[in-house]
Structure 1
Amino acid sequence: MVEWSMVLTATGEVGDVIHLEDKATKRASGRSIPLNRELRAALVDLHARGIRGADCPVIFSERGVGMTANTVVAWFTRLYDRLGFQGCSSHSGRRTFVTNAARKVGQAGGSLRDVQQLAGHRSLAMTARYIEFDSDSQRRLVNLI
Structure 2
Amino acid sequence: MKQAKTLTVKEFKRVLAVAKAGRHAERNALALCLSYYAGLRVKEIASLTVGDVYDTSGNVKEIVTLSASQTKGSKGRVVIVSKKLAIVLADYSKAQNKLLGQAYRPLLRSQKGAAFSGNSLCQVFSKLYAQAAIDGASSHSGRRTFITNLAHKGVSAKVLMTLAGHQHMSTTQRYIDVNDAMLKAAVELV
Q: Please indicate the TM-score interval, normalised by the length of the shorter structure.
A: 0.7 to 0.9
SS of 2:186's equivalent in the other structure is helix
TM-score of the superposed pair, with normalisation by structure 2: 0.67
The residue type equivalent to 2:181 in the other structure is: D
After superposition, give the CA deviation of every residue in 1:60-96 in whole Å (9 maximum; x if it has no partner): 1222211221121111112122223222211111111
Post-superposition offset of 1:136: 2.1
1:82 — aligned with what?
A: 131
Q: Are residues 1:102 and 2:151 paired?
A: yes
Rounded to whole Å, the distance in 1 between the matches of 2:74 and 2:124 is: 23
Rounded to whole Å, the distance in 2 between the matches of 1:34 and 1:69 is: 21
The residue type equivalent to 2:108 in the other structure is: I
The residue type equivalent to 2:140 in the other structure is: H
Higher relative contact order, structure no. (Cα contacts within 8 Å, ≥ 6 residues apart): 2
Post-superposition offset of 1:2: 0.4
| Residue of structure 2 aligned with 1:27, choices 45, 69, 73 | 73
1:6 — aligned with what?
A: 52
SS of 2:124's equivalent in the other structure is helix
SS of 1:73's equivalent in the other structure is helix
1:112 — aligned with what?
A: 157
Rounded to whole Å, the distance in 2 between the matches of 1:41 and 1:136 is: 31
TM-score of the superposed pair, with normalisation by structure 1: 0.85
2:105 — aligned with what?
A: 56
- Greater shift, 43-52 or 13-22, is seen at 43-52
| 8 Å Cα contact 1:6/1:21 also seen in 2 | no
Which of the pair has more CA radius of gyration? Answer: 1
Rounded to whole Å, the distance in 2 between the matches of 1:102 and 1:58 is: 29
Structure 1: which 5+ residue stretches go unaligned?
none
Rounded to whole Å, the distance in 2 between the matches of 1:134 and 1:83 is: 22
The residue type equivalent to 1:3 in the other structure is: T
Percent of pairs identical after alignment?
Answer: 32
Q: Against the structure 1 CA distance between its residues 85 and 144, is the aligned structure 2 distance closer, same or farther, given a 3 Å change threshold?
A: closer
